[in-house]
Amino acid sequence: MTASPTTTDVPAGTARLRPAWHVRPERGWLNDPNGLARVDGRYHVFFQHHPTSTSHGDIHWGHASSPDLITWTDEPIALTPRPGGIDAIGCWTGCLVVDDGVPTLVYSAVSVGDGSADVVLARGDAELRHFVADEHATAPMPRLEGVTDVRDPFVFTADGRRWGVQGAGSPGGRPQLLLWQCDDLTAWQPRGVLVDDTDPVLGDVAAANIWECPNLVPVGDRWLLVLSLWRRSEGGHDLNGVRWAVGDLRPDGDGLRFVAERGGVVDDGPTFYAPQLLLDRDADRVLMWGWAWERGRTAEQVAEQGWQGVLTSPRELTVEDGVLVQRPAVELERLRDGTLEPAEVAGAHTFAVEADGPGALRLGGEELVTWDAGARVLVDGSLVEVFSADGSTTTTRGYPTDEEGWEVVGDGVLHRLRPPTAEASPPHGSR
């Protein structure tokens, strides 16, 4: 199929760039997904958010919820920086734990700009709409040789015990993951290093100065570790991709040690970072969302659209023959609403491709991304996600205009996507 440029049914102005069914707030900045949870059958996705600016800063926790992964409701802001408090600069990345029935956010509280961060708890109501944050640290910034930066607590359970892990390192040093025992969520006990870059697999595939956003979940009889790479560069730093490793947890004194067996790249696109994993026990699966930043946009263009950043679609993760495999969450198939003719694609706001052979997505005559037979491609506003037949993924961004629409080249089926009717709006509003 070859889709030729037309402009039928194109949303006006920058509205066509806004995703129709991916999670993002109406306005402002968005980055890392946080606090992924399924509570009483409802999915909750929190995210780093600056509600009054399209730039990073004054980081809050935004929040959206869904019964089905495709119909999302905006929830109240969950965390707000407190001037003069422990999180004065921002409420940075963390996770959610249901602790003795109480939904509890576990986050990095930042009050100074030197890489330091404390672990702070915020407890919520049963509906996860209102949270009250502690005024003190549950786990203060550790003082360790070679560690100047610590961030992004993630809590997991192994052998009936609860553990916390944090990304760590220094701009001129080497990365590691710090381990804590936290059966009592209010009393974190240091348990040394879970893993560092002396691990042969991670030393090879995950070279960095700081490991960020660590996630560790069981998949089958193995453990899956996902890391985001912070690397020092000339004049600053780079957020240099995301890596996975499959391995084992082994006893190590009064703690644990992660030993990797195999690893690789989570997503080979230019706009994917800081994913978080959700162990969805009710559905016996692992889900993942990532942050897709803008690409090649000027400050003026971002200001005009009024928002920056979007979360990816939810992805189901499995480990097959020792390799990470990603597929779109099965619920997303409910978005399909008939097929498109090739000439309709340029004006489509959101669509999917099921590829029968090699293909490509073009914009303005330039090739944005390619794929092989068996790929599934999701396009939503300016977000493009390619799920290859081998389980690898590519995430990128493209910005169609009234003059330059999408063009799909290759054989396959084009699906029109249409979000279902939004659920009834609660008092605080809905997406």
Residue 89: HSE in the Cβ half-sphere, 13 Å Cα cutoff:
14
430 located within any domain: no
Residue 281, helix vs strand vs coil: helix
CA angle, 423 then 23 then 45, to 5°: 85
Beta strand residue intervals within 118-208, DSSP E: 118-124, 131-133, 149-158, 161-169, 176-181, 189-196
Is residue 36 situated within a structural domain?
A: yes
pLDDT at residue 422, as a whole number: 54
- Of 429, 361, 357, 359, which Cα lies nearest the Cα of 397? 361
Residue 273 covered by a domain: yes
Instruction: Dig out the tokens for 247 from the structure.
Output: 């391995």
Taking residue 366's Cβ as centre, other Cβ atoms within 10 Å add up to: 9
CA distances for 52 relative to 29, 73, 86, 164, 195, angstroms: 8, 20, 21, 32, 38
Contact 77, 7 (CB under 8 A): no
Q: Does residue 355 belong to any structural domain of this protein?
A: no
| Coil, strand or helix at 330 | helix
User: The whole model's pTM is what?
Assistant: 0.94
What pLDDT, on the 0 to 100 scale, is given for residue 428? Answer: 34
Residue 90 and residue 107 in contact, taking contact as beta carbons nearer than 8 Å: no
In a domain, 403, yes or no: no
The one-digit pLDDT tens for each residue of the chain (431 residues) are 333 333 334 456 789 999 999 999 999 999 999 999 999 999 999 999 999 999 999 999 999 999 999 999 999 999 999 999 999 999 999 999 999 999 999 999 999 988 899 999 999 999 999 999 999 999 999 999 999 999 999 999 999 999 999 999 999 999 999 999 999 999 999 999 999 999 999 999 999 999 999 999 999 899 999 999 999 998 889 999 999 999 999 999 999 999 999 999 999 999 999 999 999 999 999 999 999 999 999 999 999 999 999 999 999 999 999 999 999 999 999 999 999 999 999 999 999 999 999 999 999 999 999 999 999 999 999 999 999 999 999 999 999 998 999 999 999 999 999 988 755 434 333 33
Q: What is the pLDDT of residue 12?
A: 60
| Closest residue by Cα to residue 103 from 160, 151, 42 | 42
Name the E strands within 202-320: 210-219, 222-233, 236-252, 255-265, 273-280, 285-292, 307-308, 310-311, 315-320
Report the distance separating Cα 371 and Cα 431, nearest Å.
Answer: 32
Going by C-alpha positions, the residue among 360, 285, 291 that lies closest to residue 326 is 285
Structural domain of 281:
27-331
Provide the number of structural domains found in the chain.
1
Quick check: helix, strand or coil at residue 183? coil
Burial (Cβ within 10 Å: 0-12, 13-18, ≥19) of residue 418: middle
101 lies in a domain? Answer: yes
Residue 431 has what pLDDT?
Answer: 35
Instruction: Decide: 175 and 196 in contact? Cβ < 8 Å.
Output: yes
Q: Give 125's Cβ-side CA count (13 Å radius).
A: 6
Q: How many helices (H) and strands (E) does the chain have?
A: 2, 29
Closest alpha carbon to 21 in 310, 279, 404: 310
**CA-to-CA distance for 110 and 167, rounded, in angstroms?**
15
Tell me, what's the pLDDT at 429?
Answer: 34
Cβ-in-10-Å burial (0-12, 13-18, 19+) of 1 comes to middle
Instruction: Count how many Cα atoms sit within 13 Å of the Cα of residue 281 in the half-sphere of its side chain.
Output: 6
CATH code for position 108 = 2.115.10.20
Say if 10 falls within a structural domain.
Answer: no
- What is the reported pLDDT for 11? 57
Q: Give the chain's radius of gyration (CA, Å).
A: 21
Q: What is the pLDDT of residue 143?
A: 92
CA distances to 86, 109, 153, 221, 313 from 164, rounded to whole Å, are 20, 16, 6, 20, 26
Q: Which pLDDT value is given to residue 36?
A: 98
Position 121 in a domain: yes
Cα distances (Å, whole numbers) of residue 187 to 136, 151, 162, 164, 381: 12, 18, 11, 11, 45
194-208 as b/e: b if 16+ CB within 10 A: bbbbebebbeebbeb
What are the structure tokens assigned to 315, written together?
């992805």
The dihedrals phi and psi of 259, each to the nearest 5 degrees, come to -120, 115
- DSSP for residue 150: E
- Cα-based distances in Å from 146 to 7, 150, 174, 176, 341: 56, 11, 8, 10, 58
Q: Which residues of 6-41 are buried (b: 16+ CB within 10 A; e: fewer)?
A: beeebeeebebbbbbbbbbbebbbbbbbbbbbbeee
